[in-house]
Amino acid sequence: MTTSATWATITEAVTADAEQLKAMTTHAQLYGWAKDHGFNGTQFSAVKHEFRKIGVDYDAIREQVTRQRLSELNADAAEGVPVIRLSAAGADAVNSYAVCDAEGTVLWYGTFHDRDRHYHKGNQVSADLSAASKAIFLASKARTAAKAELARLHLTLTNPHVDTAYLIREATAWRLLLDIEINDDPANPPAAVEWCETPGFQDWKEADLSALVEGQAATDEAHA
């Protein structure tokens, strides 16, 4: 919660740097300013409110930047891009997550870290959102390992209530075109659901990440 004293400090800082803030063209720059001033985390909603008072709409700028990035990625993908297929799930009841490949082989699983930026104990949606975010991170590492400039991530989740717009923005930042499939059939759940219930831990660094990228060889030949 932002106290009245903290809010006053935020208002003063935004007002003082108004011209500098108005000149910023990306949400990353705006958030960087907030972080430099110690106004990130739970205080950032107050920062965005004060931004709007000086005519700076953080959310609108973020969406504009995302649309531009997506447009550029889609242009790059005109001739086809390699594909990565993953499934991800979180389980609030046991404080765990899992990410699996297309065949159901687990790539990364374990318990949530206390400072996980998405997961909030007692909230299943946040558990699934965190697991999906981990899958996006893993896919970005696979794309890099395969030396692919761009990749399409086909991600299977079980929770229809996750913030897909957020996940698309995150994937775009990692040069991934994101396709989300929701499989909430309890009779045929993705493998990641079962791994959430399995005790233990596996680090993503143990996986052969470049092997996850389908079609990379063909893409390399086409650009040779």
Q: Specify the CATH number for the domain of residue 209.
A: 3.30.420
- Indicate whether 114 and 10 sit together in one domain: no
Residue 219 in tokens: 């893409």
**Average pLDDT per run of 10 along the chain, which is 224 residues long?**
82 92 87 88 86 88 75 64 94 95 94 89 95 96 92 93 91 90 87 92 92 67 39
pLDDT for the residue 71:
66
Crossing angle of helices 44-53 and 58-76, rounded to 10°: 100
68 belongs to a structural domain: no
pLDDT for the residue 62:
78
- Indicate whether 96 and 32 sit together in one domain: no
65 belongs to a structural domain: no
- Indicate whether 85 and 23 sit together in one domain: no
133 belongs to a structural domain: yes
pLDDT for the residue 63:
78
70 belongs to a structural domain: no
- Indicate whether 103 and 187 sit together in one domain: yes
- Indicate whether 98 and 26 sit together in one domain: no
- Indicate whether 140 and 196 sit together in one domain: yes
**Residue 24 vs residues 30, 32, 36, 48, 221: alpha-carbon distances, Å:** 7, 11, 15, 14, 41
48 belongs to a structural domain: yes
pLDDT for the residue 1:
52
pLDDT for the residue 144:
93
Q: Is the dihedral of CA 14, 17, 23, 27 positive or negative?
A: negative
182 belongs to a structural domain: yes
Crossing angle of helices 27-36 and 58-76, rounded to 10°: 130
Structural domain boundaries enclosing 45:
4-56
pTM of the model: 0.70
- Indicate whether 98 and 180 sit together in one domain: yes
211 belongs to a structural domain: yes
- Indicate whether 32 and 105 sit together in one domain: no
- Indicate whether 40 and 121 sit together in one domain: no
User: DSSP state, 211?
Assistant: G
pLDDT for the residue 43:
85
71 belongs to a structural domain: no
- Indicate whether 9 and 105 sit together in one domain: no
213 φψ region: left (φ > 0), alpha (ψ -120 to 50), beta (else): beta
- Indicate whether 94 and 163 sit together in one domain: yes
The length of the chain in residues reads: 224
- Indicate whether 105 and 34 sit together in one domain: no
pLDDT for the residue 112:
94
pLDDT for the residue 64:
77
Number of structural domains found in the chain: 2
